[in-house]
Amino acid sequence: MTIKYDKIADAVYMKMSSAAIANSFKLDDTLFVDKDKEGNIVGFEILDASSREDLISNLEKNVEDGVPVSIINSTPVVA
């Protein structure tokens, strides 16, 4: 599992698998799930992440437990 937090977008992406994403599903206004062609979860994105205190404390715990967490300061631009 890898975790990326984009400070500019205020979004967290948790990647659970290296499989190719076949479908993305919006569960609510701030939660999206990516699945592979077999329906397994590849990852999920949480928007407005800084407003979720439970998420921030879990990120801190993941860092302490050695889970790779990347914090980026810019949103990639796709041409």
Q: Report domain extents, the chain.
A: 2-72
Query: Encoding tokens for residue 69?
Result: 């967490």
The pLDDT, as a whole number, for residue 32 is 94
Query: Encoding tokens for residue 48?
Result: 């407005």
The pLDDT, as a whole number, for residue 69 is 65
Span 61-68, average pLDDT: 70
Q: d(Cα 14, Cα 12) in Å, to the nearest integer?
A: 7
What is the SS3 assignment for 16-38? Answer: CCCCCCCEEEEEECCEEEEECCC
Contact in structure between 70 and 26 (CB atoms under 8 Å): no
| Confidence band of 51 (pLDDT split at 50, 70, 90) | confident
Contact in structure between 36 and 17 (CB atoms under 8 Å): yes
pLDDT tens per residue, range 1-26: 788 888 888 898 989 899 999 999 99
